[in-house]
Amino acid sequence: MRCKTCWLISALIAASTAVAVAAEITSITDEQIEALGQRFGPTVKERLVGWKGILTDSKHRQLAEREKLELVNEFMTRTPYICDPTQWCMEDYWATPMEFLANEGGDCEDFTISKYYTLRALGVPNEKLGVAYVKETRISNGHHMVVAYYESAGAEPLILDNLIDKILPASQRPDLIPIYMVNGSGLWDSKESRGRTSAPPTGYAHKAWGEFQRRSRSGDEALSITAAQRRSPECEALRARYKRVCPW
């Protein structure tokens, strides 16, 4: 059975996990913004200033949770969608929020991770949020990632998705079939979805999530790919290989 049961089981699994320290991933200083602005340009600086404003203005923490969802979802969707072979010259890369906002754009994983950790930094509890790895059947017919928000234990989740601007309940998103649920502490199989579609190998997903968290906490410099690098034979060949599923 698609829809609510799958999302609820994922919610129960996610709710039992330890809380991630969102501040480690959403911390940014004026000095960092200035340096990234000089490196990447005024649009990036404006974007990072706006993000820091959301994170640090006390009025945002006082909003109702649904208002926080709307605020963060609307802000993040201003950034363009660009798939990984084009943006990063890699088959797959899970960017930190700072990397996502400091570059030209990102893919569904970048949107979702940035929304998730910004909402956590605004005080939305860990047990109310999950990062859902799904199969999307309407546009790409492939793997996709969204944020799931649960107002209460056992509630139907609301879905924050870069494919559409509106935040909708899961029952109104029959095009999304849950596969995995992730939050700040790990990754879990959605047992109800087993056998429905091929899932990314568990080892790969754990590796991608673990590498993301390592980079987030290490203080590594934000990754960027220059225009010259994107014109390299290696990057051109990668984009050509993914052109059918990644035209951007």
pLDDT tens, position by position, 60-81: 999 999 999 999 999 999 999 9
Measured in whole angstroms, the distance separating CA 110 from the mean position of its chain's CA atoms is 4
Of 156, 114, 152, which Cα lies nearest the Cα of 131?
Answer: 114
Measuring CA to CA, which residue among 212, 189, 216, 213 is closest to residue 201?
Answer: 189
Whether 31 shows a pLDDT value over 80: the answer reads yes
Q: Which helix (H) or strand (E) holds 130?
A: strand 129-136
- Nearest by Cα to 115 from 150, 159, 147: 147
Q: Which of 58-67, 90-99, 106-115, 219-228 has the lowest mean pLDDT?
A: 219-228
Number of C-beta neighbours around residue 90 at 10 A = 12
Q: Is residue 29 part of a domain?
A: yes
For Cα atoms 194, 198, 204, give the angle at the middle one, nearest 5 degrees.
100
Does residue 121 form part of some domain?
yes
* Residue 57: inside a domain: yes
Question: How would residue 119 be classed by pLDDT, with cut points 50, 70 and 90?
Answer: very high
Nearest to 222 by CA among 140, 44, 103, 77: 103
Instruction: Assess whether pLDDT exceeds 80 at residue 104.
Output: yes
Neighbours of 185 (CB within 10 A): 15
Using the predicted structure, report yes or no on whether residue 245 has a pLDDT greater than 90. Answer: no
Minimum mean pLDDT among 2-6, 98-102, 203-207: which range? 2-6
- R_g (Cα) of the chain, nearest Å: 17
CATH code for the domain in which residue 80 is found: 3.10.620.30
pLDDT of residue 224: 75
pLDDT at 6 over 60: no
pLDDT mean over 129-135: 88
Is the pLDDT assigned to residue 33 strictly greater than 50?
yes
Q: Is residue 236 part of a domain?
A: no
163 in a structural domain: yes
Structural domain includes residue 119: yes
Phi/psi class of residue 202: alpha, beta or left (left: φ > 0; alpha: ψ in -120 to 50)?
A: alpha
Which tens digits make up the pLDDT trace of 159-213? 999 999 999 999 999 999 988 777 655 544 444 333 333 344 455 565 676 677 7
- How many domains does one find in the chain? 1
What residue numbers bound the domain in which 146 lies? 4-220
* 175 is a domain residue: yes
At 14, list the tokens: 């996610």
What is the token pair recorded at 59? 């009025």
Most confident of 91-100, 115-124, 181-190: 115-124
Rounded CA gap, 2 and 177, in Å? 7
The length of the chain in residues reads 248
Q: Is residue 209 in some structural domain? A: yes
Say what the pTM is.
0.82
The C-alpha atoms of residue 240 and residue 220 are separated, in whole angstroms, by 30
In this prediction, residue 106 has a pLDDT band, given cuts at 50, 70 and 90, of very high
Residue 132 three-state SS: strand
